[in-house]
Amino acid sequence: MLRWGMLTIALIAAALFATGDMLSAFLSGGAHDLDIAGEARVVNADAPAQSGWSDYGATPGGDRYASHAQINRENVADLQVAWSFSTGDMEKRPPAAINSMAAEGTPILVAGSLIFCTPFNEVIALDPGTGAVKWRRDAETNLEQRPANQFVCRGVAAQESPDGEATVFMGTNDGRLIALDALTGAPLAGFGENGEVRIDPGMDLIWPGEFQITSPPVVSRGAVIVGSAISDNGRVAAPAGSVRAFDADTGAPKWSFDPIPREAEAPNAGDWRGSQPPAEGHANVWAPMSVDHERGLVFLPTSSPSPDFYGGLRPGDNRYANSIVALEVETGVVRWAFQTVHHDVWDYDAPAQPGLYTIRDGNNVREVVALAAKTGFVFVLDRDTGAPVLPVVETPTPQGAAPGEVLSPTQPFPVATPALVPSRVTPADAWGVTGVDKLMCRNAIAAADNDGLFTPPSERGMLQRPFSGGGGNWGGAAFDPRRNLLVVNMSNLVHHIQLIPTDALAEAREAHHDAEIGPQAGAPFAVKREVLVSPLGLPCTRPPWGVLAGVDLRDGRIVWRRTLGTVEDLSGGLSKLPLGAPNFGGPIITGGDLVFIGATLDDYLRAFDAATGEELWKGRLPGGGQATPMTYEWNGRQYVVIYAGGHARSGTKLSDQIVAFALPDD
């Protein structure tokens, strides 16, 4: 997460680059050279229309596309706030909880209501046309638990029956699965105990917040399936990253899938050499999942094993970790798996919902799974087999690991689409607003191990680009089926990662109060992680620090790439320079040829032309928009809705408001 002084960045930028000449000098070699664009040719205007927003990602496959076209390129500039709703959290929640929250939720439209969850696991149903409350149900989550991943609830899932009944499911920050009647908010009778099932993490927790559920469940073929979020870098013998399925009517357990083999005869045991069973945990699914109902498959984005930055106790590729894994919905059996990072020691989780898309090129139709990775790459796989549709090449990567570590000699590199953000930094790339600032950055870059992507962590310290927040993150991507166009946002920062011998941990904590230090208990090394910045608090790399790109999935061609965001709201409104900004949250695409996205560390919802990436509109938000928006039509009017509640760890303005935009109601 971000721990650098964005306010300082913006204030200095505003002071130094207020004139046009200075701005031109600032951007030379920086932001504008990423703004490449070309018309994204419409290859199938008759692609199946998708409307409504019944699932977290619009559809079970998470394409985040809706065919609504009332709002379009010609009239988007006329958008205005149609209604807003305050959850009341800013007044009724304890200050410590407010300062540990991230409003990342995306509502769904189900049973005639707009239904979402707050970071504190209150489920609220609103009238889609007015924002008036229809019902609300607080799961009464323990707010004293000090969550490892902030208080987060990205969304809910729903199961609708032919007779009009519907159930809403939510995972909680304290490890429960909740089932509610979608019409009334009442706990579902007969589901678990009083409408909830408490998840057993399988071992004693160090503290209650070590284990959470932050992303929405998925529902298919009578099963509700849920992952978990587990604290990183605390210990080697951490909770298992099991994915669990329960009967959607009764809450009875159906199956459990642990990506880490616990028996020697497991199909992936050979990729986890060492102790049997291994002591490691995690490889959990903290990001959203997707479902193909017809195939009966659920697609998991798995994370790194514990701990993130040392794998000497888990030699091998660690197959099923850092992977897209396709499981049979009814049994939990692995149908196929594709690993995006072998033997991860960089915290390069599969971070987002695997998108289920249909690529159309003339008479050729290909159903795929795609993932925008933390590494900046886009992986595109066959949905039935997991084989790459766009080529992936095993490429030699830097070696020279820490004592006891055994790295993979190669890593999978997609070759059709270049990385959407840079993957290396050299002393010549050092950036600063003054000569001294730039010199200090150049020296810092030269002093660290720096051999490009997958440079191994070391005691000397290494540079990681993209930083472990991505590249891509949980916001994922959106897909325009008419253009075969994948739209994805990414951050562009560098981490300095340093391994610390365990016996020097206390000394390191005393010396580096502002750094993120993980003990990695049970490993020979702790880890220190910091964003690479200059003495003035500015990134040591050139802007833009956030990008938005469109990729044609037929051939992997980058159709357009644009700077995303400013530092306006981190400078008290003084600077609106197009520097780009790190971003958390994702895009959506509409039939009106628009891409809508919040995500950036300024308080705006933006609209871009889906064909060219040109920014067409931005709407002011009452707080940070670190959530993925959604859209729907209600009584003949199209709305675009975003949870503008902010993100405490990223320093954006905190709020408790859902905001709906629409065209003027004539």
Active site residues: 347
Please say whether the beta carbons of 354 and 372 come within 8 A. no
Sequence-distant (≥ 6) Cβ neighbours of residue 252 within 8 angstroms:
246
Is the C-alpha dihedral spanning 46, 51, 55, 57 positive or negative? positive
In DSSP notation, 5-25 reads -HHHHHHHHHHH--SHHHHHH
Amino acid at the residue 522: G
In sequence order, the β-bridge partners of residue 197 are 177
Residue 341 structure tokens: 């990072």
At residue 419, φ and ψ (nearest 5 deg) are -55, 135
Sheet holding 290-292, edge to edge: 290-292, 297-301, 323-328, 334-339
SS3 158: strand
CB contact at 8 A, 85 and 126: yes
The strand ranges marked E within 481-585 are 485-491, 495-501, 516-518, 525-531, 546-552, 558-563
Maximum pairwise Cα distance, the chain: 70
H-state helical runs in 455-529: 505-511
Report the number of secondary-structure helices (H) and strands (E) in the chain.
Answer: 6, 43
Closest CA to 346 of 492, 469, 219, 195: 469
Q: Going edge to edge, which strands form the sheet with 122-126?
A: 108-110, 113-117, 122-126, 133-138
Region class of 221: left (phi > 0), else alpha (psi between -120 and 50), else beta: left
Which residues are registered as beta bridge partners of 123? Answer: 117, 137
Strand partners, 283: none
Contacts of 463 (CB under 8 A, 6+ apart): 425, 445, 448, 449, 450, 455, 494, 495, 496, 497, 532
3-state secondary structure of 343: coil
Upstream peptide bond of 277 is cis (omega within 30 degrees of 0): yes
CA angle 647, 648, 652 (to 5 degrees): 60
3-state secondary structure 176-227: EEEEEECCCCCECCCCEECCEEECCCCCCCCCHHHEECCCCCEEECCEEEEC
Contact 635, 68 (CB under 8 A): no
For residue 249, the one-letter residue type is D
Q: Where are the alpha helices (DSSP H) in 419-544?
A: 435-446, 505-511
